A = this chain, B = another copy of it.
Amino acid sequence: MSGKHDFSINKLGEAKILSPMIANMGRDSFSDFIEDEDRVVFNLETKVEDGRRVSVSEDTLEVAGARRKIYFNPAHVHAAIATCGGICPGLNNVIRSVVRCLWYSYGVHRISGIPYGYQGLLPESRYPIIELNPSLVDDIQEKGGTILGSARGGGDRTSEIVDTLEQLNINILFTVGGDGTLRGAYDIAQEVKKRGLKIAVVGIPKTIDNDLAFIQTSFGFDTAVSLAVPVIRGAHVEAKNAINGVGLVKVMGRGSGFIAAHASLAQSDVNFCLIPENPFDLDGPNGLLSHLKRRLEDRDHAVILVAEGAGQDIVPATGLKDASGNTRFTDIGVFLKEKIEEYFKKEGLEVNVKYIDPSYTIRSAPADSYDSIYCARLGANAVHAAMAGKTELLVSMINNCFIHMPIKEAVSRRNRINTESAFWRDVLENTRQPESMKN
């Protein structure tokens, strides 16, 4: 079972306490409890070897879920949760689910909400910790955003954060966030170990771009795609109603074009789906502008859907970074609008470009039902993992199973669209755009 990726999960110690789900709730059957030995296949592909069909990989993943025995005495638990980075549909659902599962399933009644992500754990924070309970989180999921507030940065001040955890006697820390947040969580877990503390650090991965590896779909992603659809529909109407109308929509997706690609499949009006994974030229006989011209000559209108990270090789760099340390991108939408207008002016053709950037209205929305269900279960599984004394892990869904993944593995690579996959071919066949727009 060894190998490069054994995906085994760290523990603070042996889980020895009978879970209150069994002890108090009179369950007559245990079959819905998960054993640590329950592991599922990671890579579904198979090959034929010596006449036998076998998996291409022996990697397996630990199944998430409630355990018969837990590590922490619920009466001694002080759990904390922080939401970091940009907002995303589903954050409040996750908070609610974590609080309810701790409270009702385990009897944990000391739960702290950390304001504004890691910033709220820094010594200079002027924002009070929020005491959480089921009544306070009762219908927070009906609002977008996070009741705790969210902010970038601060996660690199590991030592100060662990000082705060110690001072507050926090022994379970849930951090909801993306790549940077999870790296921060990993560092915190290392510092915790170094100090010999018993603090479980459990990450709940958040990326509206869906670009974290080892996560089938991140929460908020389905909502984001569904909210992009009416925006694209509007862009299509604008395009059709103007002489040589071009509807241009920018959606989120810094390193990956998942939202753009899915929205192109969900809404049939997109003619050009531009993603970071599929570089394109503007000029030249096979460049975007030539293809756009042909499209307008044929059909009088066009819709372009562009991920914010697409074409970053052809735009001038800003040279700036945000508080999370991410490169600040040049606005590809504004850039394309200008280039298109310039090109058609030179070509002597009227063109009417309508540019729409819906990002804030998408990410601030409440979760749709798909994400609501997902978050309800994700939060509960994070609690089960923490109560079992597991640490340095994140809770995730792969192949439709909730599983545990070591944080270190999870942040080691990114999820990107494979432009040689059936999925991307389905997108191309839907938009009917050229396979490549490189000369």
List residues of A whose CB falls within 8 A of some B CB: 1, 25-29, 31-32, 34, 37-41, 44-46, 48, 52-53, 55, 58, 60, 65-66, 87, 96, 100-101, 104-105, 116, 119, 138-139, 141-146, 149-151, 216, 222, 225-226, 228-231, 233-235, 237-238, 240-243, 247, 262-263, 265-268, 354, 356-358, 360-361, 364-365, 368-370, 372-373, 376-377, 380, 399-402, 420-426, 429-430, 432, 435-436
Q: Given the complex of chains A and B, what is the CA–CA distance between A116 and B241 in angstroms?
A: 8
In the complex, are the beta carbons of B267 and A369 less than 8 A apart?
yes
Nearest 5 A/B pairs, CB to CB: A234-B364, A266-B369, A237-B364, A226-B369, A145-B237
In the complex, are the beta carbons of A373 and B53 less than 8 A apart?
no
In the complex, are the beta carbons of A139 and B58 less than 8 A apart?
no
Interfacial chain B residues near A46, Cβ < 8 Å: 39-41, 60
In the complex, are the beta carbons of A435 and B1 less than 8 A apart?
no
Chain multiplicity (copies): 4
Partner of A116, one of B28, B39, B149, B243: B243
Partner of A380, one of B357, B380, B429: B429
User: In the complex where A241-B87, A377-B426 touch, is A420 in contact with B31 (Cβ < 8 A)?
Assistant: yes
**A to B CB contacts below 8 Å, 24 in the list:** A25-B435, A28-B435, A32-B420, A44-B399, A44-B401, A46-B60, A66-B422, A96-B268, A104-B432, A116-B243, A119-B243, A149-B241, A222-B369, A226-B369, A226-B370, A229-B369, A238-B360, A238-B364, A265-B372, A356-B361, A357-B357, A358-B361, A368-B368, A380-B429
Partner of A242, one of B149, B267, B377: B149
Shortest C-beta distance, A253 to chain B (Å), equals: 16
**Which chain B residue shows the least CB distance to A45?**
B40
Shortest C-beta distance, A278 to chain B (Å), equals: 13
Partner of A41, one of B41, B216, B230, B235: B41
Interfacial chain B residues near A432, Cβ < 8 Å: 104
In the complex, are the beta carbons of A234 and B360 less than 8 A apart?
yes
**Which chain B residue shows the least CB distance to A65?**
B422
**Which chain B residue shows the least CB distance to A420?**
B31
Shortest C-beta distance, A420 to chain B (Å), equals: 4
Shortest C-beta distance, A20 to chain B (Å), equals: 12
Q: A104-B432, A262-B369 are in contact. List 18 more A-B contacts (CB 8 A).
A: A1-B53, A29-B420, A39-B53, A40-B46, A44-B399, A46-B60, A65-B422, A96-B268, A145-B237, A149-B241, A151-B242, A234-B360, A235-B360, A235-B364, A265-B373, A266-B370, A370-B370, A380-B426
In the complex, are the beta carbons of B53 and A139 less than 8 A apart?
no
Interfacial chain B residues near A360, Cβ < 8 Å: 234-235, 238, 247, 354, 356
In the complex, are the beta carbons of A141 and B268 less than 8 A apart?
yes
Shortest C-beta distance, A83 to chain B (Å), equals: 9
Q: Given the complex of chains A and B, what is the CA–CA distance between A401 and B398 in angstroms?
A: 12
**Which chain B residue shows the least CB distance to A399?**
B399
Interfacial chain B residues near A96, Cβ < 8 Å: 268
Q: Given the complex of chains A and B, what is the CA–CA distance between A326 and B66 in angstroms?
A: 39
Interfacial chain B residues near A243, Cβ < 8 Å: 116, 119, 149, 151
Q: Given the complex of chains A and B, what is the CA–CA distance between A144 and B432 in angstroms?
A: 24
Q: Given the complex of chains A and B, what is the CA–CA distance between A90 and B437 in angstroms?
A: 32
Interfacial chain B residues near A376, Cβ < 8 Å: 265-266, 426, 430
Interfacial chain B residues near A400, Cβ < 8 Å: 216, 399-400
Interfacial chain B residues near A151, Cβ < 8 Å: 242-243
